[in-house]
Every structure is written in C-alpha cells, then in structure tokens.
Chain A
Amino acid sequence: MKKTIVIAGAAGEGINTIEHFIERILKRNGYELFSYKNYMSRVRGGYNYTTIVISDAPVFALVDKADIFIALNSEAYAHSKSQMWEGAMLIAMKDLALDVSESGHVLFDKTLLANESKAKNAFSMASVGAILKIFGCDENALSETANKKWTDVVNEENLKAAKFGYEKTHIQFEVPKHSVNRHHMLMGGNQAVALGALSAGISFYCAYPMAPSTGIMNYLATYEKEMHIIVEQAEDEIAAVMAAVGASSNGVRAMTGTSGGGFALMVETLGFAAVSEIPIVIANVQRPGPATGLPTRTEQADLSFVVSASQGEFSRIVLAPLTVEDAFYVTHRAFNLADKYQVPVVILTDQLLADTTQSIPKFDTSQLKIERYLETKVIEGYKRYDFDVVSGGRKYPGIDSETLIMTDSHVHDVYGHVTEDAQMTVALKHKFIKRTEAIQLELKKPTFYGDAAYKTLFIAWGSTYGALKEAVDALVDRGEKVAMLAFSDVFPIHPEVLKDYVHPDTEIVNVEGNAMNQFGKLLRMETGVMFNHAINKYDGRPFTEKFILEAYEVIKNG
C-alpha cells in the first residue's frame, strides 16, 4: 500500500531537511520509498516541492497527488488542494490554513510551538515528528533527527519541535512495513552513476557544472581523497571531455558528465575518441532542450542527438539506465564496454533519475569485475590500430618500457600515423562496421515484464521503465493482456532485437518522455518494426502510472 507525502515551499525553506529526515528514518523503520524533487531553476524562493512515495513494496515511480501535504508557506498552501487527493491530510501552521477544520489534519499552533522550541525550523521539525507518528514509528525514532554537523543546542531545540509534532498528531496510517534494517540504501541516480564509476576503478573525473548532472561530480569530489582519484572542474565542457580522453589515452579510466547543452560542446571530441580508439565514458543527464530549455526539469529528448552526434561514421554505445539501481550496474558495465571496444560510451540518464531518491538493495560488488582488455606483453612491430582487431589488444604510453604509442584524430595507418590512403580509409570504415556488429551482439537484451500472453506490448527506454512498470502491474491486475519491453542498451540496436517479441497481432505502444518518439523511430529504422500507438510526456515533468493508464484508456477506446 502506497502513501504519498508532498513537502512544498520555497527554495531554502527546509524542504530538503524534512525530506532527509523522513526518508532516512522511515527507511530505517522498514519502509520502501521513492522521492523526486520538483524544483525551479533558482537558489532561493519560487515554488518547489518534493514528493515522497512510501510503501511496503519497492516503488518505481511518482504518484500524482498527495495523501499528506506539508505546506511550508502560504503559496504552498494555495497549491495544496490541487495536489491532494480528496480527503487527504494537510500538515501546516494553523494561521496558514484558517479555513481548514482540524479534523483529519495536523495544524500546529504558532504560539504553542514557539513556546516549546526555539528551533529556527521548528515547523519543519514538527512536521517530521508528525510523519513519524503517522507511520507508526516509535517515539525513540525522534532522536534520529540529531545531526552531527549541527550544534547541540540546535539539535536539542529541533528534537523539542519534532516531539511537539509527534505528540500533537493523533492520526496513524495502517501501512505495513518490513522488519527493520533490510540492508537497503537510499540513493539517487547521480550518486549511483558516481558509485558505478568508482566500482569500475575510475581515476579521473573532469566536468563543468551543469544541472542536473552536477551531483555526479559532487559525489566523486566528496570522496576524492579516500578513493585516491582526481576530480577536476574544467573551464568548459570541451576541456572536460578532452581531459578525460587525454587521461584515458594514458591508461587510466576517466569520465565526464554533463547535460544536453554541455554534451553539444563535447561532440567533436566524441568523434576524436572514436577514431583514435580511446575508451571514454560520458554521462548525459538529460533535461528538456533545446538550448537552455528547462534546467531543472526532465525529458528524454537527447536520444536522437546522442546516437548520431559528431561528424562522420564510427562506433559508439549508448546506455540508458532503467532505474537508480540499474544506473550503478550500467555505469560499471559502461567502463568495461568502453575498454573492450575502445569506443565512447554515453550513459543517458535524466533529471528524473538524477533527482530521485529510492530505497534500493545493497549493491553487490563481489559480482563485478574490472576488465581492461589490454595488451601488456611487448610485441615486436605492435600495431595499435590493426584494422582487423575490433576489440581488446590495446596498449597506451608507458604500459611497457618499449612500445611507442601514436594517437591521432585523422584517418591513420595501423601505427596511428596520418594517412590519406584510400585503402586504409576503407579499412577503417570496415573496422567500425565490424565493431558495431560485435557490439550489437554484446549488448543486453531488453527487459520483458508483464503478461506472457500479451496482446499489447509497451516499449520504453531508460527511466520511463519505472512508471510504465507500475502501469503494467495495474493493467495486469485488472486482467489486461499487456506487457512491456524496456531497453537500457539503446544503441546500437540489433536488427532482430524485436523478433521474439513482436507477433503479427501485437499492438505496440511506444512510451517515451519526448514528443517525437525518438526511440520508436530508431527502432523502426533498425528493425523495420513500427509502433501502432504512442504515449508521450514532454511537459518537463516525469511520467506517472496514472498518466500512462489514462493515455492507454484513450488508445483502447480508439
């Protein structure tokens, strides 16, 4: 059973503090959760809110409206009605909501609260206390609001306010929960990508700050010393990707991350990495474009750009993690693939994954392996760019005491020296074709989920998986013959990837977070299979189960 909490207010008013405590404490108390920040591109003020979905079962998507709405200011209160289910609960200061009856709501009296606690964010802490009471947490859980970074006085006053909220709340929800401590982690998509990179042995991360990708750099910088890596803020995205490529060319694993606008600046280097066969991993955390677009919102509209970015023809890999958990394993795999095929690998996430916090199972690093595909022996007449070798066999400067390595952005001979020879030009093309074919066979098949006797097949990629999975669950529960196919490995597409899934009577519904069905068209181009219907979301906000179900109804009713 799901319960949804919305915390709404202005930037800097305490949304993140409330969210942080609620998530940590409810997680420790055995709940699963999924939360998402809906914020404006500004540091202070504005109307922002965070949605937290709490459940006994794993949650993969947002819910449209709140069961509990915490209003931090009058503007939030004004929005509350439209963001709450009928009969939902409001948590607010009494003077904000004079027209609301106390029954079924938690309204704090300003004077009473002020008498109880001198905390600057007394209301925030009181609402944390209220939530803990509502979700049946023991009163001892309140002490978990202590933060080592704050002074004892602040923590004491906060605790008093939380206690006040706990005591003034007399409603409890019946939400089943797991036994405490299920070894789950609270994680966001950027953090998962950063940890995936660390698990893959990254040495150097070079980037230019850009929402919503900056969290990757922040996380890596936090552990720079302990992990013995270098995180460098470059002067621009061109420098960021070139430095990462330069580091990779000298043998270490390196990465950069950005959003669409920054990726646009990295484009020439993408081709350079490909032609000079330098492995590189680039995260593009998508936000709506074009140009500056909506900096803090979400969209899946960079796919067509990313799969074809840069002049000329070459091999590349594009991976779009389905979930926060997947983002970790995909990133780890991205480094191995980059090394194996000596290609650029783009990890395509989005603001939804980046600004999601999810309770997920502990990562299992014992299953992971760093595979470098290097040639460490000294080889007489070593050909760094042998036209017949599409994977492995790589050497870099300094790998042994003999071999000299030439790396070049031109069409080059097997030793990396510039050439304009027609035959070598063709041989390089053929190498890329063979390499792409090898990659097509290597990439992961799409994830199938739903009723095996499906008549309708939803197709999605990347983060749309979450909401679609919940929609498919709901439809299968009602006896609908539906299933979904979710792609994390979105490029290159094997021409027969849909063969086992699409039957003559299968109705295909393409579900994408963009307006122009970029993946649907890519699939048609590569496989010849065209979708029959489409469900699209392109208002900068993430898909929800409800949105997909309503769109599906429209399709069904023709």
Chain B
Amino acid sequence: MGNINLSDNPFVTNSGTSWCPGCGNFSILDCITQVLNDMAFKPQDVLMVSGIGQAAKLPHYIHAHGLNTLHGRAIPAALGAQVANNAIKIVISSGDGDTYGEGGNHFMHNIRRNLDVVHIVHDNQVYGLTKGQGSPTTALGQKTRLQFDGMRHEPLNPVALAISLGCSFVARSFSGDPKHLQAMITAAMKHKGYALIDVMQPCVSFNHVNTFKWYKDRAFYISESHDPTDKVKAFELAQTFGDAGIPMGILYLNEKPTFLEQCRHIDRPLIQYDRKPTDIDWLIDRLVE
C-alpha cells in the first residue's frame, strides 16, 4: 500500500480477509497497523472493538486483542471494556450502517459519555455485507440495489451530528489518502476522549456513485486557518459535502474530561481492585443496627 511499510510490524497478520479486491478497507487496516506500530504500541496494549459489517471484520485481521460484537453494539461493548481496564487502548472499527443506523443511539450517547477511544467509521455510504442497500449516509435520490427509484431519506451528516453534540474530536479522512488517514489516526490516538474519524471509503461492489474518483475529485484539506475549537465554524464546515467539496482533516476539537475522569472515586483500572466477600460486612453491620 503505497508508502506504508508493513514489514516487522507485529500488528500485521498473514490471515486472508473476506473483503472484495480493491475495497477501501484494506487501506484503513494498513493505516491502523502502521500507526499502532509507529506509536510503539504492542499488540497486547490494544483492543480492537467492532460490531457487524464488512468494517467490523477488521479485528480478525489485526494481531491485537479483538472484540467482534453484535451489529450496532461496538460502542457500548467498548464502554464496558474501557471501564474494566483502561490500561488497554481501544480502537473501534465499524461501518456507516453499524454506527449511524443500528447503533445510532449508542453513537449519540457515547459522544456525551466521552469514552477515551478512537472510533474509525468506514463510511462507504452503502451496506456492503447485506449487498447494496442504502445506508444512513447514502445521498437522497441515489439508486441502490433495494431503493430502485432512489433513496427517499435525506442522508445523515455524521460529522455535523457529532459536532452538534459537542464530540471531543471530529475528523474526516479518505481511505484513498493513506498519508492523511494515518495523520488523523495518530492525532485521534493522542487525543484524550471520544475521537471520531469518518473515513470516506469506496465500495467497489455496491456503490458505483461514490467511487474512489468521486471522493478524490471532491476531497480537500481543511485550511490551516480553521480553528477546530470554534464549534459554530466547525459545524458550518461540516455542512460542506458532495459537489461542493469534502473537507478532510480535524473539523472539531473539544477538550473535556473523559468518562473515567468523571468517575473520580476510581483511581486505577477496575480490574486492579482486589475484592472479597467480607468487603460488605460494614454494610451488613449497618443493617443490623
């Protein structure tokens, strides 16, 4: 994959994948493994969490801990996993249907919860695993294998939604620009809090509108003069999509305490607390009074 060096990377596996040749997922996978290695993580330090979908197969193709859950449910699983042991870095990999459709409620509320996770959404604007139906991000009027006369819903704007909810880190990137994607993943990994990267990605089998070329022709880097801490400006920028161009980069940054930082009574990973039945004796004694 272009400039990516995959040799001697402990995260790389030689297991085959079940993705279609030419799928944007390959580049996203390579970028993740590259960044993890560059940042000197060990496979034992990282837990890849996913739901169900083509993107959600990714944990099986990376040499790290993996938690491949149910459709839409990656984020709540990540919540539990992080609460149990925040010494393990969590990266969520899921698709647009998984994240914004089936898991939409979790997406909204975990932005509020502000877990300290990197969430990479493979957004190809179509359902891949179920073969070509419209997704929450498919454009109005776009024909699909199910919506023969075109989509009847307006698409969901994930980055604008995330910004409106005060998401701690919102970025957009493109699987066809691995250098940019790696920079975004690196920034997200360094960020403390819920870091969303909506990754535009062609689906070579089912989306013949939003192709590699379609994205390539429209994507532009966000100007350095953009202040990502300005919520209104960020929201404004997030409205730009499609033929008007697609801004790539960090749209919004909102530094705030993470969920575990709000749990002030916990000073180490929960897994490290030693517990025994007699811990409740004082409560029982109180009840006997």
Residues of A within 8 A of B (CB): 183-187, 195, 198-201, 203-204, 206, 223-225, 227-230, 232, 234-236, 238-240, 242-254, 268-269, 272, 332, 362-363, 365-366, 368-370, 397-398, 401-410, 416-418
**Interface residue from B44, B76, B288 paired with A243 (Cβ < 8 Å):** B76
What chain B residues lie within 8 Å of A243 (beta carbons)?
76-77, 79-80, 83
B226 at the interface (CB under 8 A from A): no
Residues of B within 8 A of A (CB): 15, 43-44, 47, 49, 52, 57, 59-60, 63-70, 72-73, 75-85, 87-88, 105-106, 108-109, 263, 265-266, 270-271, 273, 275-281, 283-284, 287-288
What chain B residues lie within 8 Å of A418 (beta carbons)?
57, 60, 68
Closest to A197 in B: B280
What chain B residues lie within 8 Å of A365 (beta carbons)?
277-278, 280-281, 284
What chain A residues lie within 8 Å of B278 (beta carbons)?
365-366
What chain A residues lie within 8 Å of B52 (beta carbons)?
409
Q: Could you show 9 A-B contacts with beta carbons less than 8 Å apart?
A: A184-B288, A185-B288, A195-B280, A246-B69, A250-B84, A362-B284, A366-B277, A398-B44, A407-B67
Q: Provide the bound-state CA to CA distance between A183 and B287, in Å.
A: 9
> Given A239-B106, A250-B271, 4 more contacts at CB 8 Å?
A238-B76, A398-B85, A398-B271, A406-B65
What chain A residues lie within 8 Å of B59 (beta carbons)?
406
What chain B residues lie within 8 Å of A250 (beta carbons)?
47, 80-81, 84-85, 88, 271
Q: Provide the bound-state CA to CA distance between A417 and B59, in Å.
A: 9
Q: How far is the CB of B161 from chain A (nearest CB, A)?
A: 15
**Residues A198 and B279 in contact, CB atoms below 8 Å apart:** yes
Closest to B80 in A: A246
Q: How far is the CB of A183 from chain B (nearest CB, A)?
A: 5
Q: Known contacts being A235-B106, A368-B277, is A416 close to B66, with CB within 8 Å?
A: yes
**Interface residue from A232, A234, A272 paired with B69 (Cβ < 8 Å):** A272
What chain B residues lie within 8 Å of A332 (beta carbons)?
277
Closest to A240 in B: B76
Q: Provide the bound-state CA to CA distance between A533 and B289, in Å.
A: 45
**Residues B70 and A409 in contact, CB atoms below 8 Å apart:** yes
**Residues A252 and B265 in contact, CB atoms below 8 Å apart:** no
**Residues A405 and B65 in contact, CB atoms below 8 Å apart:** yes
**Interface residue from B15, B271, B273, B277 paired with A369 (Cβ < 8 Å):** B277
**Residues B70 and A251 in contact, CB atoms below 8 Å apart:** no
**Residues A252 and B70 in contact, CB atoms below 8 Å apart:** no
Q: How far is the CB of A130 from chain B (nearest CB, A)?
A: 24
Q: How far is the CB of A398 from chain B (nearest CB, A)?
A: 5
**Residues A269 and B84 in contact, CB atoms below 8 Å apart:** no
**Interface residue from A199, A206, A224, A272 paired with B277 (Cβ < 8 Å):** A199
What chain A residues lie within 8 Å of B64 (beta carbons)?
404
**Residues B67 and A186 in contact, CB atoms below 8 Å apart:** no
What chain A residues lie within 8 Å of B78 (beta carbons)?
246
- A-B interface, 8 closest residue pairs, ranked by CB to CB distance from nearest: A246-B80, A201-B275, A247-B80, A250-B84, A246-B77, A235-B109, A242-B76, A368-B277
**Residues A195 and B284 in contact, CB atoms below 8 Å apart:** yes
Residue in B43, B72, B106 whose Cβ sees the most chain A Cβ within 10 Å: B106
Q: Provide the bound-state CA to CA distance between A247 and B77, in Å.
A: 7
What chain B residues lie within 8 Å of A239 (beta carbons)?
73, 75-76, 79, 105-106, 109
Q: How far is the CB of B43 from chain A (nearest CB, A)?
A: 6
**Residues B88 and A362 in contact, CB atoms below 8 Å apart:** no
What chain A residues lie within 8 Å of B68 (beta carbons)?
406-410, 418
What chain A residues lie within 8 Å of B287 (beta carbons)?
185-187, 362
Q: How far is the CB of A436 from chain B (nearest CB, A)?
A: 23
What chain B residues lie within 8 Å of A230 (beta carbons)?
83, 263, 266, 270
Closest to A406 in B: B66
Q: Known contacts being A235-B109, A239-B106, A404-B64, is A249 close to B76, with CB within 8 Å?
A: no
